[in-house]
Amino acid sequence: MSNPSTLPDIPLPAGIRPRFTDGINGLSMHVLEAGFESKGRPCVLLLHGFPELAFSWRKVMPVLAQAGYHVIAPDQRGYGRTTGWDANYDGSLVPFRLTNLVRDALGVVAAFGHRSVAAVVGHDFGSSVAAWCGMIRPDVFRSVVLMSAPFVGPPQMVFDIAATPLPPKRVDPIHHDLAALPRPRKHYHWYYSTREANDDMWHAPQGVHDFLRAYYHHKSADWKGNRPHPLKSWSADELAKLPTYYVMDLANTMPGTVAEEMPSREAIAANTWLPDDELAVYSAEYQRTGFQGGLQWYRCGTSGAFTAELETWSGKSIDVPSCFISGRQDWGTYQRPGVFETMQKAACTRMLDVHLIEGAGHWVQQEQPDEVGRLLLRFLKMTAA
């Protein structure tokens, strides 16, 4: 990868500046910062998802800063201009496990002089990191906002096995069942965990820029096929109701999947939430780094290698104030059946607000930034000490 200090500047709204901070859990972290003009401001930490960057928060950061917050948004481990991580498929997954991503978040908060934050806000896979921040260090992360990805809670321990044999480990039949459908399918988490996924996307036939254009379009409210609703069960027939960016055709790649929904030139020209010059920021970064850094996060989950570690928190919940924000046209709310409901009933004991924003798909803070900013400030006011 190129030396980030030699790269061209990222076009940012007034009031946001980029920083490089070394020594953060082995990383040199690229951070966008707003509200730095005065000391003593309460901190808000913003954590992006896949395939995004700190840049995805550009429209929300000035609103929070104007309201009196010190806002920091890092390129997370595996992404963008943050360095110190290994993009090798055969490298160790240990640095990418959730507990170490929480350590990254603690490190960046401390590096900017904060002993606590008013809220940690996570979108997509960043929502998982934000949730675990609130689970592991509620003294630091005083409130949690989850966006576009509900939290089910930690994995559960197996009880009462001392006097009875441990039952054999059950193999989830979902992959066999999806492949056996009349229209054979596969789940994108497991596709993202394959050796081929990074090369498929990094060397997409249509190029990285057009791949990302189609990917963002397909998961946005602009794609009229996004009409989410709860699924009845984790079964092949139910999961097959998800759009192909979640449950893909078995023989297809992700670039091939989204190419079928590439918006027209007219639609691209009319796009105001992600005009082509802003999309070019993402495509330039991913053309340079590839996608494997973010894909490692998926592999940590699908491998099951770190489930035992997460069972350390079995039976615990997020007990700090929390909030969920998503687009009404975002299938992410329902992609894992029952999780949206479990989050509200058990995983988060002090969930104060749940909002599904009309006119937003998966990229809610980019598609409807004004409403997201308003809701974040409403939540911050509710939770202010």
| DSSP assigned state of 173 | T
Residues 6+ apart with CB under 8 A from 362: 124, 148, 219, 220, 327, 330, 331, 332
Q: Give residue 35's region: left, alpha or beta (phi > 0; psi -120 to 50).
A: left
* Residue 35 confidence class, pLDDT cut points 50, 70, 90: very high
Least Cα distance to 241 among 261, 226, 256, 259 occurs for 226
Buried residues in 127-166 as b, exposed as e (16+ CB within 10 A): bbbbbbbbbbbbebbbbbbbbbbbbbbbbeeeeeeeeeee
Q: Where are the domains of the chain?
A: 12-156+306-383, 174-294
Give me the pLDDT at residue 4, please.
72
Residues 149-165, mean pLDDT to the nearest whole number: 90
46 vs 54: CA distance, rounded Å: 8
Strands 16-24 and 70-74: unpaired
Residue 96, pLDDT above cutoff 90:
yes
Residue 21 identity (one-letter amino acid): T
Asked whether 304 and 98 are in contact (CB, 8 A), the reply is no
Residues 6+ apart with CB under 8 A from 326: 147, 148, 332, 333, 355, 356, 357, 360, 364
Least Cα distance to 152 among 291, 383, 310, 329 occurs for 310
Q: Tell me the backbone φ, ψ of residue 247, rounded to 5 degrees.
A: -115, 100
Residues 6+ apart with CB under 8 A from 38: none
Give me the pLDDT at residue 385, please.
61
Beta bridge partners of residue 123, listed in sequence order: 147
Reported in sequence order, the residue ranges of the chain that DSSP labels E, i.e. its strands, are 16-24, 27-34, 43-47, 70-74, 119-123, 144-147, 185-187, 247-249, 322-327, 351-357
Residue-wise pLDDT tens digits, 160-205: 888 887 878 888 999 999 999 999 999 999 999 999 999 999 999 9
Alpha carbons within 13 A on the beta-carbon side of 179:
7
Residues 151-168, mean pLDDT to the nearest whole number: 88
Say yes or no: domain 12-156+306-383 is CATH 1.20.1050.10: no
Asked whether 46 and 57 are in contact (CB, 8 A), the reply is yes
Least Cα distance to 353 among 331, 328, 383 occurs for 383
Residue-wise pLDDT tens digits, 131-143: 999 999 999 999 9
* Residue 1 confidence class, pLDDT cut points 50, 70, 90: low
Asked whether 145 and 120 are in contact (CB, 8 A), the reply is yes
